[in-house]
Amino acid sequence: MKISQDQLTQKAIELLKQLISIPSFSGEEDKTGDAIAAFLEGFGIEVHRQYNNIYAFNKYFDESKPTLLLNSHHDTVKPNNAYTKDPFHPHIEDGKLFGLGSNDAGGCLVSLLATFVNFYEAEGLSHNIIMAATGEEEDAGEKSIRSLLPILPNIDVAVVGEPTLMDLAIAEKGLVVFDAVVKGTPSHAAHPNNNNAIYNTIDVLQWFKDCSFDKVSEALGEVKLTVTQINAGKQHNVVPAQVDMVVDVRVNDCYSNQEIADLLQKEAPCEMTPRSLRLNSSSIDPGHDLVKSGLALGRGTYGSPTLSDQAALSCQSVKLGPGDSTRSHSADEFIFVNEIVEGIDLYIKILTGFLQ
């Protein structure tokens, strides 16, 4: 007998409580992986595992059809020092389910798991469905979805579960972090020095402050460059040889990360070394049928400035889920129980419109 949506929703909420109670910092998600596998197996679903990545295929998977990926993560950051509640004690107050990872991204994850169960035995769908509950999202680790994708069938489109208030993030900014170095002549502070690295940094900082990129994205706006760290000197009477800075660049979908690196290394008035180029921007065609299905239900679209596992995907993808990203990584993190109820309902309705 097919389980009702209400029953499925209650089981998803109970799973979220269980996941909150199990510490699952990035790279340490083995026990939450066990719980997710047991949840799916409880519905008679064959489960596969790679590291702490748990994944499953819909019952009538057909290699001749395109494939939809449903993905969210079960790792968390460590609780910050401002917590007043036990981060591993799931409890409901005033309709809010409190606990570490409740909003980022537990609510999204259990809602997608429930949605996958809902469609698991459906026949005649336009797409196959793969459900992947993955680890190491918070630190973009080597055993995250990046390690899983090469062993999965080709993915044509993806829904990445992150808290978006169930509006559709149809584009997401990429990220390049640069280590910047401004050089000068080291000397004793008592002697004249016309090549002081710290003073040289004044003009460099102004250049960064004024820096802009020509291409502006309709969904994501401008590329945003921000100097976030600066460090120099070890004692009061020594002029340092260099100033080290960290520059955070949020990249829109008009540029690849490589293009941004090439531009800055050519134009910036200091040495610029990118730490990684793999966190590219991502997007989906605003006219894609998946987006149309969400719009038909009155959901909005926007461009997201924050990163997710979308950065690892090469297919078109949309970020979508219950919860509010402003609560992510906050003290006394929570998600409204009604957001999960609504999230499961909307996921099912959006996919029904898309898959049928």
pLDDT tens digit sequence for 122-169? 999 999 999 999 999 999 999 999 999 999 999 999 999 999 999 999
Rg (CA), the chain: 23
Cα–Cα separations (whole angstroms), residue 172 to 195, 211, 309, 314: 41, 21, 10, 13
Quickly tell me which residue has 């309705």 as its tokens. Answer: 349
| Distance of alpha carbon 97 from alpha carbon 16, whole angstroms | 9
What pTM, to 2 d.p., does this model score?
0.90
Domains of the chain: 5-172+281-355 (3.40.630.10), 174-274 (3.30.70.360)
Two tokens at 314?
Answer: 């090469």
DSSP class of residue 20 equals H
Backbone angles phi, psi at 65, to 5 degrees: -100, 155
pLDDT in tens, 299-351: 999 999 989 999 999 999 999 999 999 999 999 999 999 999 999 999 999 99
> Residue 105 is which amino acid?
A
Task: Confirm if 69 and 134 have CB atoms less than 8 A apart.
Answer: no
In DSSP notation, 73-126 reads E--BPPPPTT--S-TT--EEETTEEESTTIIIIIHHHHHHHHHHHHHTT--S-S
Question: Where do the DSSP E strands lie in the chain?
Answer: 48-50, 53-57, 67-73, 91-93, 96-98, 128-134, 157-160, 168-172, 174-183, 187-188, 224-231, 238-239, 242-251, 271-274, 282-283, 301-304, 316-319, 334-336
Q: Give dist(CA 270, CA 149) in Å, integer.
A: 37
pLDDT tens across the length of the chain (356 residues): 579 999 999 999 999 999 999 999 999 999 999 999 999 999 999 999 999 999 999 999 999 999 999 999 999 999 999 999 999 999 999 999 999 999 999 999 999 999 999 999 999 999 999 999 999 999 999 999 999 999 999 999 999 999 999 999 999 999 999 999 999 999 999 999 999 999 999 999 999 999 999 999 999 999 999 999 999 999 999 999 999 999 999 999 999 999 999 999 999 999 999 999 999 999 999 999 999 999 999 999 999 998 999 999 999 999 999 999 999 999 999 999 999 999 999 999 999 999 98
pLDDT of residue 2: 79
Read off the DSSP letter of residue 155. Answer: P
Classify residue 60 as exposed, middle or buried by CB count within 10 Å of its CB (0-12, 13-18, 19+). middle
Q: What whole-number distance in Å separates Cα of residue 188 and Cα of residue 190?
A: 5
Cis amide linkage into residue 105, ω under 30° from 0: yes
